[in-house]
Amino acid sequence: MSDVTAEHSVILHGHSMAYHDSGTGPALLFIHGITGSQRQWAHLVDRLDDDHRVVVPDLFGHGQSAKPVGDYSLGAHAATLRDLLDHLGIERVTLVGHSLGGGIAMVFLYLFPERVERLVLVASGGLGREVNPILRAATLPAADLVLPVLASGWVRQRITSGGHALGRLGLRPGPDLTEVWQGFTSLADPDTRRAFLATTRAVLDPGGQTVTAHDYLPDSPTRPTMVIWGAKDRMIPATHAIAAQRAIEGCRVELFDGAGHFPHLDDPDRFADLVREFVAEG
């Protein structure tokens, strides 16, 4: 497995962005979700960078990138990724966005259509109102006071199994619990926590997702799009894949039976094969 810790960094908008860049061929830009990082794509690098250029950043506010006070909207993230591509000399790219990253990918297409070859949306945000209560709770006013306590070391040390608590929210054992738990533990860092709250509040309210791609998809240029979803996703329901298929002309949908919110972790070989096949369609 390739190590996609911060092999490279660049100053964008006055702040450091960490990213991995390897391989040659058609460019793939992987965009992680809330509390995620480039680490979540690490297992795919060796599977794809033999015949693709694979770029895997940590978004601002995540991983080893800076956590500045500022704009964490989808448009701001999209503009930063455009600037990263400019720095790398990449003109056009296939975007692969997971969860929040899917929403960023769709806004990127809307803002910079000339830079996008294809779109792969993985359990994407922005396609419906529904989202798990674990994320909706972060938009409540009390979250600013409660989250530092919940994420503190003394509380985490007393939780014998994060899986029990998260499992009650409907998350599957395996990648779902592992990734959500690791994301939660990262919130012990005050800067990461501040960025997390800013990010969630840019796209969510207590009732669910507030930013919907359906508002701007009719005005977006058409690009080949593939939607990948875990059939047992309890973070964002798989029914949103059907909404995407209806809204995006020629959209291809692939459901991973038995997978949850991280289908690329549940079945990485199938995921890599699908991405390679999709890009090769030309």
Question: Could you read off the pLDDT of 40-69 as tens digits, one per residue?
Answer: 999 999 999 999 999 999 999 999 999 999
Q: Is 51 a catalytic residue?
A: no
Spell out where the chain has E strands: 8-12, 15-22, 27-31, 53-57, 93-98, 116-122, 204-205, 208-209, 225-230, 252-256
> What pLDDT sits at residue 164?
54
Superfamily of domain 8-131+209-280: Alpha/Beta hydrolase fold, catalytic domain (3.40.50.1820)
> Has 266 been annotated as catalytic?
no
Segments in the chain below pLDDT 70: 1-6, 148-173, 282
Distance of CA 130 to the CA centre of its chain: 17
Given the residues 21, 233, 266, 267, the one annotated as active site: 233
**List 62, 77, 98, 261, catalytic entry:** 261
- DSSP lists the bridge partners of residue 226 as 120, 252
What contacts 202, CB < 8 A, 6 or more positions away?
Answer: 72, 73, 74, 211
Query: What's the pLDDT score for residue 186?
Result: 86
Residue 254 contacts residue 231 (beta carbons within 8 Å): no
How much is the pLDDT for 183?
Answer: 83
What pLDDT score does 160 carry? 46
172-181 long-range Cβ contacts below 8 angstroms, 24+ apart: 172/232, 172/234, 172/260, 174/260, 174/266, 175/260, 175/261, 175/262, 175/265, 175/266, 176/234, 176/235, 176/260, 176/261, 176/262, 179/36, 179/40, 179/261, 179/262, 179/265, 180/35, 180/134, 180/235
Please state the φ and ψ torsions of residue 163, each to the nearest 5 degrees: -65, -35
- Compute the distance between CA of residue 126 and CA of residue 200 in angstroms, rounded to an integer: 12
Note the pLDDT tens digit of each residue in 175-187. Answer: 887 887 788 788 8
pLDDT of residue 169: 55
Catalytic residue from among 2, 99, 124, 220: 99
Bridge pairing between strands 93-98 and 116-122: parallel
Other CB atoms within 10 A of residue 281 CB: 9
Burial grade of 196 (CB within 10 A; 0-12, 13-18, 19 or more): buried
Q: What is the dihedral of CA 254, 260, 264, 266, to 10 degrees?
A: -110
Q: DSSP for 86-127?
A: HHHT---EEEEEETHHHHHHHHHHHH-GGGEEEEEEES-SSS
Q: Are strands 8-12 and 15-22 parallel, antiparallel or unpaired?
A: antiparallel
Q: What is the pTM of this model?
A: 0.91
At 29-42, the pLDDT tens digits run: 999 999 999 999 99
- 261 flagged as catalytic: yes
Structure confidence at residue 214 (pLDDT): 80
